[in-house]
């Protein structure tokens, strides 16, 4: 049952798409917006790139077969979030924004890491190639 990993992947992809389309969604709470609420072109570019990364990895988590492919994508997501937590936690402009950025990214890292337990193995396949489900014992 890979439901948690799939759900987190879908949420990651959706949030990534939203932030790539509207970087101010994340720039404002993290203190990266200008005083007038706009987002500078450089900040916009970086947020768009991170959003696109999240769309790619999140979509992969939704679509990957169970087992090693899904676990690798979960690992990529977890490591990305840990990196985000580290860099946001040390580089954002205020202590409050650093704490918020580290907590948000770190929380996602923990959730994604926990979802690896549900990634399981691929279902065994019968002669026809169709997954075989164990019957009741």
Tell me whether residue 137 is in a domain.
no
pLDDT tens, the chain, 137 aa long: 689 999 999 999 999 999 999 999 999 999 999 999 999 999 999 999 999 999 999 999 999 999 999 999 999 999 999 999 999 999 999 999 999 999 999 999 999 999 998 887 665 555 655 565 555 54
Q: Is residue 123 part of a domain?
A: no
Q: Which domain holds residue 31?
A: 3-118
How many structural domains comprise the chain? 1
Q: What are phi and psi of 125, to 5 degrees?
A: -110, 140
The separation between the first and the last C-alpha atoms of the chain, rounded to the nearest angstrom, is: 19
Residue 131 structure tokens: 């997954």
């Amino acid at each position: 049952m890979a439901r948690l990993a799939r759900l987190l992947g879908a949420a990651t992809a959706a949030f990534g798409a939203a932030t790539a389309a509207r970087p101010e969604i994340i720039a404002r709470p993290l203190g990266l917006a200008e005083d007038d609420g706009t987002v500078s072109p450089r900040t916009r570019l970086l947020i768009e790139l991170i959003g696109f990364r999240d769309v790619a990895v999140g979509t992969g988590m939704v679509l990957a077969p169970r087992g090693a492919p899904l676990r690798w994508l979960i690992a990529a997501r977890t490591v990305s979030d840990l990196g985000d937590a580290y860099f946001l936690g040390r580089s954002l402009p205020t202590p409050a924004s650093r704490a918020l950025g580290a907590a948000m990214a770190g929380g996602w890292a923990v959730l994604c890491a926990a979802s690896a337990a549900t990634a399981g193995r691929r279902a065994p396949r019968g002669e026809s190639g169709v997954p075989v489900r164990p019957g009741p014992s």
